[in-house]
Amino acid sequence: MTFRKMRIHHDTIYAAVLIFELANDRVLSEAELEEIERHEFTGIAPSLLQKELIHLICSEDKTDADDRRSAYWALGKRFDASLIPFFRDQLRIEQQRDVDAVYQILIALDNLNEPVFGGDRGGSYSLLDKELNWIDAGRYLSTLLRSPVACIHVRC
């Protein structure tokens, strides 16, 4: 058996999401299963895909903003609470440069029951609410700084 070095790129991110959804017991359609097979992801551990998506995000010199946003979206589909410190670190970084990436991170954290969105939003969140998303990110990060148990330390 030969080992193929894996690298996630823009065209394979959706297949990674499908692996995560399969791991979370979602029944996939035939077309979705074919998408996984087309990218040779059949049998690949979700943890390996997670690691590769993090690597993609952290390779800032080689990764464009669209790929980073897509990678955050994909990692959000993992529903893995161990990613919370990573998402927090990246939220701090992205708040300074890309409000669309901020939105993807906020959704991922919200899916992990982190209190990222202000109560005044009424449960309605949109990528188009750029200013509100930026405000909510700042509010969330500031509450972490005041929390005695906050630990933001995961590095790429």
- The answer to whether 71 touches 53, Cβ cutoff 8 Å, is yes
What's the CA gap between 156 and 154, in Å, rounded?
A: 7
CA atoms within 13 A on the CB side of 109: 24
Considering Cα of 119, then 121, then 127, then 131, what sign does the dihedral take?
A: negative
DSSP alpha helix (H) spans, 62-120: 65-76, 84-94, 99-111
What's the CA gap between 104 and 90, in Å, rounded?
A: 11
For residue 4, what pLDDT band results from cuts at 50, 70 and 90?
very low
- Is pLDDT above 70 for 151? no
- pLDDT per residue over 45-93, tens digit each? 999 999 999 999 998 666 789 999 999 999 999 999 999 999 999 999 9
Largest pairwise CA distance in the chain: 55
- pLDDT per residue over 12-38, tens digit each? 999 999 999 999 999 999 999 999 999
Q: Which two tokens stand for residue 116?
A: 């990222």
- Is pLDDT above 90 for 7? no
Alpha-carbon Rg for the chain, nearest whole angstrom, is 16
What's the CA gap between 56 and 70, in Å, rounded?
A: 10
Q: Which residue has the higher pLDDT, 138 or 145?
A: 138
CA atoms within 13 A on the CB side of 60: 6
- Is pLDDT above 80 for 3? no
pTM of the predicted model, to two decimals? 0.88
For residue 8, what pLDDT band results from cuts at 50, 70 and 90?
confident
